[in-house]
DNA sequence: CTCCCTGCAAACATTTTGCATATCA
DNA sequence: TGATATGCAAAATGTTTGCAGGGAG
């Protein structure tokens, strides 16, 4: 799960400081149950840390992505949003309406990846299996 | 395969005219062996139809997407590119280096989708299975 | 001949960069 | 204290809109 202290440790080890803006972005993402774009993170972040600057949000998101603490979400129309990394390991359901993300275990996927890569000679480093649709509550 | 006449028919049936700019974008995408963004399509398109305007490229891409003749590619950093629809039905390999796309048959995926959706109560309308890595020639 | 489509320019939205100041370790 | 990181403003980038003229059917 999203543990701030654990994430802080990852940052420190990589030689980065744990500053207020960075902590703020981490907290905002940790509290989200779906994905958020830079503008939404800024808005929420300013409730915690009013001095937060827009630029720091962008820079922090880049940093978190680089460190593997956050990930970009590739929804059909929205490719500029982020979620904390532990919320999406690469295979998840996205609700088209409310944006909620539900991660699911990827049983069978590794198998498929292996056979496909052997067949085509690709060396695969990452995967993205995203199912788009409506979550139970948005179906009503 | 990408057959211009066939695509033209889809457009006509939907009540759209087959104009020079639209034909140009279709030809450019048909000739691509990977994905291209609006700027690249404009550049290539102008070799065929020098009068092509930037705006028409955007509008045509929207239209083609709507009609199911093109699709957005969700590469890690590049979410603003398109490829012709028959090149990617939702499950493909993307080379991180050269951008080439290789579609593969999705045996087993439907099965997986069904079980996952039953379990979580989602109604799924679309999927995206993308494997990122290096194609055989870029591995060297 | 009519309406849809185009291209230009300008408006908009979003992200990045330059730089002086503030801050974490 | 010193190197990093911040925040502002401005620039760069990417996309959309308004509108007069052009072309497909």
**Token pair in block for residue B66:** 């709507």
Question: Distance (Å) from the C-alpha of residue A76 to the closest C-alpha of chain B?
Answer: 8
* Binding-site residues on chain B for chain A (CB distance < 8 A): 72, 74, 76, 79-80, 93, 95-96, 102, 104, 107-109, 111-113, 116-117, 119-136, 139
Q: CB A124 to CB B96 under 8 A? A: no
pLDDT in tens, chain B (140 residues): 458 889 999 999 999 999 999 999 999 999 987 789 999 999 999 999 999 999 999 999 999 999 999 988 887 677 899 988 876 667 888 887 777 778 787 777 888 888 888 899 999 888 888 888 888 988 98
Ordered strands of the B70-73 beta sheet: B36-37, B81-84, B70-73
Chain B hits for A132, Cβ within 8 Å: 124-128
In the predicted structure, residue A75 carries a pLDDT above the cut 80 = no
Beta-strand (E) ranges in B60-139? 70-73, 81-84, 91-95, 101-103, 123-134
State the average pLDDT for chain A: 88
Closest CA to A85 of A126, A49, A47, A56: A126
User: What's the rounded mean pLDDT across residues A70-87?
Assistant: 83
pLDDT of residue B1: 47
* Gyration radius of chain B over CA positions: 17
What's the CA gap between A27 and A12, in Å, rounded? 17
Check if the beta carbon of residue A81 is closer than 8 Å to that of residue A32.
Answer: no
pLDDT of residue B49: 97
User: At what angle are helices A38-48 and A54-66 packed, to 10 degrees?
Assistant: 110
Question: Distance (Å) from the C-alpha of residue B86 to the closest C-alpha of chain A?
Answer: 18
- Model pTM score: 0.83
In the predicted structure, residue A111 carries a pLDDT above the cut 70 = yes
What's the CA gap between A39 and A57, in Å, rounded? 9
User: What's the rounded mean pLDDT across residues A23-43?
Assistant: 94
């Amino acid at each position: 799960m999203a543990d701030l202290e654990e994430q802080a440790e990852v940052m420190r080890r990589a030689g980065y400081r744990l500053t207020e803006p960075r902590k703020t972005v981490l907290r905002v993402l940790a509290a989200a149950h779906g994905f958020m774009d830079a503008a939404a993170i800024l808005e929420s972040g300013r409730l915690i840390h009013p001095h937060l600057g827009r630029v720091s949000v962008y820079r922090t998101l880049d940093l978190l992505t680089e460190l593997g603490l956050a990930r970009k979400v590739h929804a059909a129309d929205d490719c500029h949003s982020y979620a904390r990394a532990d919320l999406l390991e690469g295979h998840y359901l996205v609700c088209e309406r409310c944006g909620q993300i539900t991660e699911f275990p990827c049983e069978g996927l590794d198998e498929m990846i292996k056979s496909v890569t052997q067949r085509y000679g690709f060396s695969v480093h990452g995967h993205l299996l995203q199912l788009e649709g409506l979550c139970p509550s948005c179906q009503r």
